[in-house]
Amino acid sequence: MTGAVPRLPADLTRLEQLAEQRLGPGPVGYVAGSAGNGSTERANRAALDAHRIVPRMLRDVSSRDLRTELFGRNLPAPLALAPVGVLSIMHPDAEPAAARAAAGEGVPFVLSSASSTPMEQVAEAMGDGERWFQLYWAKDREVTRSFLTRAKASGFTALFVTLDTPLLAWRPRDLDQAYLPFLHGVGTANYFTDPAFLAGLAKPVHEDPNAAVLHFVGMFADPGKTWPDLAFLRENWDGPIVLKGILHPDDARLAAEAGMDGVVVSNHGGRQVNGSIGAAEALPAVAAAVGDRLTVLFDSGIRTGDDVFKALALGADAVLLGRPYAYGLGLDGQAGVTHVIRSLLAEFDLTLALSGHRTPGALDASALAG
């Protein structure tokens, strides 16, 4: 405590309301909005809240060690910033600001394919910070291959492949605002700077931006992809590959059989399938199925330090944090993201200690009731 009143609240669950008050309805709706009537986002919260921590007493917790290892990298805590696209709608400093904040705290930053800033510029902003690249798997193989080559050259060490978005879901908040940034060329920076993408255009982007947008929309995702297609990614990426959007243990087993390195138990924060299972409800079965073979990460619903505790106790090796840092960015730029990271980790550290534990690796289902 320094005696200075923080610019943003210590209770990170208040950030969404503040963002609603201070930022435009289109951008906030795009980040905060969910598929359908929001039942999956509510299920994410219900699944975490259904588990209660059972504190243990008279254990020496005078020192704690949050460090963890993921994909051969030593990290200060079991936390990374999840891929969130089009961050320029939240703040003009966009992805570089969030990436600098992550690097400053030693937390990995996962860059979205749909970023507002080319991957090379984000990498430069991060310096030596740990960075991972999230792939929206395009229909065009050459564009995908080019993305992987660029990401590797830019120092991204792990590939996160989002599987749950072969199509964009029915998202009423965006539809009611007629708001989709991609149609205005926002969130397309990696594509509009990619040589393979540009080779498919009759004219340069600046001469016919509408044609460039239509080309992007036509290739952005591919609902025809199947498990055998993963071989293409393995052939073109020599680092860890993590499949994001896994909810069924059988899909996790298929990921292991396909030679993948990890999975993210996630329902895209409730943004894709309305009525889906809550991510934390799916986590234990996935972890039981492949936890000895794959790194198991978790997102969808993480808002507090005790959420991190619960996810680790339910079988995750680490968590990805999404919307809260996007709100922090929108409200206070890079400093806002730093505030979110530090607040979440401080609350997690205290929750760990006050529950009688010293390390994240000590957590298992016995730490919870419910």
User: Annotated catalytic sites, by residue?
Assistant: 268
Reduced to 3 states (helix: H, G, I; strand: E, B; else coil), residue 320 is strand
Comparing C-alpha atoms, which of 26, 108, 55 is closest to residue 321? 108
Under a CB-based contact definition with an 8 Å cutoff, are residues 294 and 266 in contact? no
Beta strand 52-53 with 79-81: parallel, antiparallel or unpaired?
A: unpaired
Determine which helix (DSSP H) or strand (DSSP E) holds 310, and give its type and residue range.
Answer: helix 305-313
CA distance 310 to 289: 19
Reduced to 3 states (helix: H, G, I; strand: E, B; else coil), residue 112 is coil
For residue 210 the two structure tokens come to 């509408």
Reduced to 3 states (helix: H, G, I; strand: E, B; else coil), residue 187 is coil
Reduced to 3 states (helix: H, G, I; strand: E, B; else coil), residue 75 is strand
CA torsion through residues 36, 115, 194, 164, sign: negative
Under a CB-based contact definition with an 8 Å cutoff, are residues 263 and 297 in contact? yes
**Who's near 272: CB < 8 A, 6+ residues apart?**
35, 40, 164, 165, 169, 245
Beta strand 131-135 with 158-162: parallel, antiparallel or unpaired?
A: parallel
CA torsion through residues 28, 32, 35, 39, sign: negative
